[in-house]
Each structure stands twice: as structure tokens, then as C-alpha cells.
Amino acid sequence: MNQSPDGTIYKGGVWSFTVEPYAYPIKPASATASNAAAGMGPEKTIDGSGMTGDLHGTDPTTMWQTSGTLPNWIQYEFDKVYKLYDLKVWNTNQIIETSVGLGAKKVTIEYSVDGATWTALANVPEFARAPGTPGYAANTTVSLGGVMAKYVKLTINSTWGGTAITGLSEVRFSSIPVQARAPQPANAATGVKVDAGLDWRPGREATSHNVFFGPDSAAVANGTVTPTTVANHGYTPGALNFGTAYYWRVDEVNTVTYPGEVWSFTTQEYAVVDDFESYTDKPGAEIFSAWVDGYADKSSGSQVGLIDAKNGTFGETTIIHGGRQSMPFEYNNVKTPYYSEAVRTFDTTQNWTTHGADTLSLWFRGYPVAFADKGGNAYTVSGGGADIGGTADQFRFVYKQLNGDGSITARVDSQTNTNTAARAGVMIRETLDAGSRHATLAVTPGSSVTFLSRAGTNGATTTTAVTGGLKAPYWVRITRTGTTFKAECSPDGKTWTQAGTNLTLTLGNNVYIGLAVSSHDAAQISVAEFSNVATTGTVTGPWQVLALGVTQRSNSATPLYLVVEDKAGKKNTVVNTNPAATTVAAWTEWRIPLSDLSAGGVNLGAVKKITLGVGDRTNPKAGVAGMLYFDDIGFGHPVK
């Protein structure tokens, strides 16, 4: 009714609901029989074959049929002991049923909890005859009276036609749910909150519940852990530890006790320190408002967040570990103070010592080094870009200058499989423009060695040869003799096979010769390892590195560190053990023992600041610039 002044009545819609059934259907785990005709085994009575909804058809191959003399039996086994409510029966329903009478008539039913000791069920009704027509509904229901059983055996003593051959079409059992069921958290759940409460659907007859709980599965299963009795379904275990597996069981109690199954769950590994999900582009809510960098005050060479907001945030929404965004961290240690930091000061001090916490976890990723000389003519080269192909190339080129004739040989030891058409190999190139003429022999993760070339500036790329079935490690070589280019490959650097035929290509006398890597994916960087690199001819100058055709990020190896500070101003610094952490291109978890952070008396029960840094804070010196991403900082305990 509407309020005054008009008092208008608005008629509502009609709602409805259906209450749960008293008993629930259960399917036997298996069916066996005294005998069966070929293709008409006892499993047909529980596999739903021949059924359309609740109606059975007349196809004999969808039914169980015996091949021996009476009596014949069929036995069902469940996965555990159930309190059985009733049994619905679809008798054998072949078209010939009304004239032959194969259907079961007089039947003995026995049940057992162990398969050894059997008890006969009283008052088993005569099984009704099937009509022998499609659309047959179950016409016999046997009350099982709530007996406890894991096994049920039906023995057919007579048939409607007096025949020795008999059978059944389908059976359905139902049971009364007397055990605890539907646990919350769900069985085997992970990431469960450390303050979670437990609940379950109670058994139909329970007046109280005995809850067995603890980290020892055997103690819970055997009942040697002391149970807690609760009057209503639901139990609060109290403070749980991070990253720990717990086991629990609920016995439903009445005049009879029904032991429950053992359930388990694993608690969350970490509580959030900062998952970087809450930051937006609103004033005061930007990521750089919480994580103070050196962009404005030049206190360090860091810049947190993107220059321009995208998708409603200054965070990174594409390169993420979890959730919707991560924190971009651009560092520049070229100028004083030669280190880069971002500092998060918490409004309220944080306690990292609860729930058995022993670890601080954070995820980071950077970019691989563009070029690294490992010594002994071995090199690491990383490259991005769409391809070496089309009318303009996109790749990383590590090169020297070649005057006149010459060659380059290399063993491609490995390459990150960013795409099956990613390329790593050797190249001779006229200019450093994207559309330059060139000849390239490259190995791909797709198990091939490909000979590519571009005959005209800004012209199309031609594939001269593709040799399939070859993959790194593999040797490649290109030789220039005048206008003739010969490509060769080898499994061992000794026996060489020409790739395709000689290529005629007119280049200037002074060209560039070197190593080429493309990821064939503009969003990824592929890392290739080369060894046994050698050149012939007049090759001059040191190795030069160029991101050709497209901007490609790269990092150099630089220390990565974290500083924690408590409310009293005590602080401690931990440096990542990988001196090349900044060059790791995949999301990597950095786990720091809290004992390392608390060294020097830092109170981890009252953490006020956390600092992420790149460089050497204690011995600053001119370094390099690059980009990192951070995500999902938390304290807790990792699952073992």
C-alpha cells in the first residue's frame, strides 16, 4: 500500500519456490549380475541408456537381459554406505513383452554394508509388468525403509511369462541425507581466508554435530583429535595460519551417529600489502600519490605510473600478474643520485606477524637485456617486433660493418618461443633502415630454417627456402661473394647443407653484418642465445645494437632492493639475490623471509614504510635506465 495521502494499493507479482525433496537420488558406482546376454550387461540399468527424461524406450540393447536359468540376480554397489529411501524400477520393456513376458515378477531384495553379511528386505512388492511400448514410466516403487547399505542385490525368482530369460530396463535409488554435506568452504578449496568460518548442510536427523578439525588428516579421519560439539550447523575454528592445509569432519548425532567424510581446504598464502587494484586517475587516488617517486622532487631517478592515464588509471593494465593492473616503475640511474626508488607510507601501521606469517612476497618483471657479450664468441640477443618480412622489418640487430665479400657463421643455441615464426639468425644488410635490402638465414621455434631476402628497397620480402624439421640448437651461415649470397645450415658446424639455391642480390660495397632476432609478436620480447659466432672478410668496428623498425624496451642487469621501515624509524634493506633481476622478462615472485627484514630490530608488527628500489643505495654510481613492473605485494606463508 502506498503511503498517504492517496493510499493506493499496488498489486505484487506471484512468487514461488520449491522445497527440497526428502530423499535425493544416488547412482550406484557399479552393477554386476549372475549372467547377461551379449551387449546387454547389468550396467545398462544405471547408465540412462534408453531413457528420455523419466521414460524408457523399447530397444533391447539399452536393457539388462539374462542368458541363464532362474533365479538370476543383479547387484548394485554404492561408493559408501547410504540410508536408502526407495527404489524405482523400470521392468524389461521389449516390444515382445506383452506376448512373451520376460519381465521380473517375484523378486527378493537383500542389502549389506560390507558385501558379506546380507539382510532380506521385508514386504517387497511384485514388480509390475512393462507395457512393451515407448514412453514407459517406472511402475514399481519399493520402499527401502531407511536401511543402511552399500550393496543391494535383486534376485529374480519368476517372470511374467514363466521364462528363464528375464531382465530390467532401469533402476533408480534414493537416499535420506543423514550425513553432513555441501561443506563451505568447498572440499579441497584453496585461498580460504584465515578468518573463515565453516558451515555445511546438516543431516536430516541430526540434533547436534561433532566437529573434528585440525592440520592432521589422519587425526581427523580417525577421530583422535578432540571434537567440538555444536547445536547448530556452523563452526568457527579461530585464527588460522597462512598457506596451511586443514582437515575437518562433521559427525551428525542423534540416537545414531552418522560419521562424516573428511574434507579439506588450504588457506590463503598471503594477506595484501598492496595489490595495486584500487588506484585510479582521480586526484589523490593515483598510483603515484601512494607510491612517491623521484619524478617531481628529483630525490631519485624513478617514475611511477604511466605519463598519461589509460582505462581510468595511471597503472599498467596490460602487463599484469593478477587483477586488473600493476605498477609501472621506470628507473633512470644515469644521473645523480644514481638510484631509483618508490616509497609507500601507510596511513596505519601494518602488522606482518599475524597468522603464522614468515614471508613477504612480491611479484616483478622487467625486460631482457638487448645484447650481452658472454665471452668466447657467445652472445645473448633479445628482440621484439612483428617480423623480419613484408616491406619493412621489425627486429633487434646486433651488427658490425662489412666491406666487400665476407660471411657470418653462428650457432643458434636457443630462442624463446614467443611465436612459431619468431626468428633468430644471421643477416647481411645494406642499410639500417627498416625497408633495406638484405639476406637472412634464421632458425624458428616452429622447427625450420628459413632463407629470407629483400631485393629492392622497401620491396616485398621473398622466402628463398624453408628447411623443415630443424630446430635450435642449429648452425647457420651466410656468405657474400659479389652479388651472390649463399645460405647454409648445419647440425654440428662440420657438415653443411645449402638452404635453397644461390641468391643474386645487389647491395652496396659497405654493408652491415650480424645477428638478428624477432619475436614475431609486437607485445613480447624473444631472447636468443648464440655461440660460435665468426665472420670472414673485412669486418670492422665493435658490435652495435639497434632496435630496428619498432621501439623495443630492454633492461641491463641492475640490483633490485626493498627497504622496510617501522614506526620508530628503524629500517632494513634486502637486495634480490639475482643480480640480473631487472632483466627477467617473466613475472617472478620474490620471497623475502621476514627474519631477514626484521634484522637490526625492525618491528614488523608496526610497519610504516616500504620502499622499492633499483641501483646500489649504499654505493651509488652511474648506471642505466629501464622499466620494471610490480604487482601483488603480500605477507604470509607460502604453501609448501
Same domain for 363 and 484, yes or no, is no
For residue 194, the domain's CATH number is 2.60.40.10
Is residue 446 over pLDDT 80? yes
Please give the share of the chain, as a percent, with pLDDT higher than 70. 99
Closest residue by Cα to residue 368 from 214, 178, 557, 546: 557
Which of 217, 235, 268 is a domain's end point? 268
Closest residue by Cα to residue 131 from 139, 123, 120: 139
CA distances from 54 to 30, 48, 84, 97 (A): 21, 9, 20, 20
Cα(206)–Cα(202) distance, integer angstroms:
7
Same domain for 81 and 30, yes or no, is yes
Residue type, 210: N
Closest residue by Cα to residue 87 from 28, 142, 154: 142
Task: Judge whether 238 lies within some domain.
Answer: yes
For 338-376, the pLDDT digits (tens) are 999 999 999 999 999 999 999 999 999 999 999 999 999
For 114-160, the pLDDT digits (tens) are 999 999 999 999 999 999 999 999 999 999 999 999 999 999 999 99
Same domain for 150 and 256, yes or no, is no
Task: Judge whether 28 lies within some domain.
Answer: yes
Average pLDDT over residues 542-549: 97
Same domain for 353 and 294, yes or no, is yes
Cα-Cα end-to-end distance for the chain: 61
Q: What stretch of H or E contains 221?
A: helix 217-222
Cα(604)–Cα(94) distance, integer angstroms:
77
Which of 157, 176, 195 is a domain's end point? 176
For 276-300, the pLDDT digits (tens) are 999 999 999 999 999 999 987 889 9
Largest separation between any pair of C-alpha atoms in the chain? 105
Task: Judge whether 601 lies within some domain.
Answer: yes
- The pTM (predicted TM-score) of the whole model is 0.82
Gyration radius of the chain's alpha carbons: 37
Cα(233)–Cα(248) distance, integer angstroms:
14
For residue 239, give its domain range: 181-268
Bridge partners for 136 per DSSP: 56
Is residue 2 over pLDDT 90? no
For residue 94, the domain's CATH number is 2.60.120.260
Closest residue by Cα to residue 635 from 393, 373, 360, 241: 360
Same domain for 349 and 410, yes or no, is no
- Give ∠ CA 397-364-417 in degrees, rounded to 5: 40
Task: Judge whether 479 lies within some domain.
Answer: yes
Task: Judge whether 145 lies within some domain.
Answer: yes
Same domain for 100 and 205, yes or no, is no
Task: Judge whether 543 lies within some domain.
Answer: yes
Is residue 82 over pLDDT 80? yes
Other Cβ atoms closer than 10 A to 132: 20
In the chain, the number of structural domains is 4
Same domain for 528 and 380, yes or no, is yes
Same domain for 425 and 514, yes or no, is yes
What is the predicted pLDDT for the residue at 298? 87
Same domain for 276 and 190, yes or no, is no
Q: What is the DSSP string of 250-315?
A: EEEESSSEEPPPPEEEEE-SEEEEE-S-S--SSTT-SHHHHEE-STTT-SSSEEES-SS-BTTBSS
Same domain for 197 and 101, yes or no, is no
What is the predicted pLDDT for the residue at 186? 98
Residue 234: pLDDT band by 50, 70, 90 thresholds? very high
Give the mean pLDDT of the chain: 96
For residue 405, the domain's CATH number is 2.60.120.200
> Counting Cβ atoms within 10 Å, is residue 358 exposed (0-12), middle (13-18) or buried (19+)?
middle
Residue 5: pLDDT band by 50, 70, 90 thresholds? low
What is the predicted pLDDT for the residue at 126? 98
Task: Judge whether 599 lies within some domain.
Answer: yes
For 383-436, the pLDDT digits (tens) are 999 999 999 999 999 999 999 999 999 999 999 999 999 999 999 999 999 999
What cell does 177 get?
541425507
Cα(111)–Cα(123) distance, integer angstroms:
14
Which phi and psi angles does 168 have, rounded to 5°?
A: -140, 155
Same domain for 398 and 535, yes or no, is yes
What is the predicted pLDDT for the residue at 296? 78
Same domain for 467 and 408, yes or no, is yes
Cα(289)–Cα(497) distance, integer angstroms:
61
Average pLDDT over residues 552-571: 96
Which of 268, 301, 328 is a domain's end point? 268
Task: Judge whether 2 lies within some domain.
Answer: no
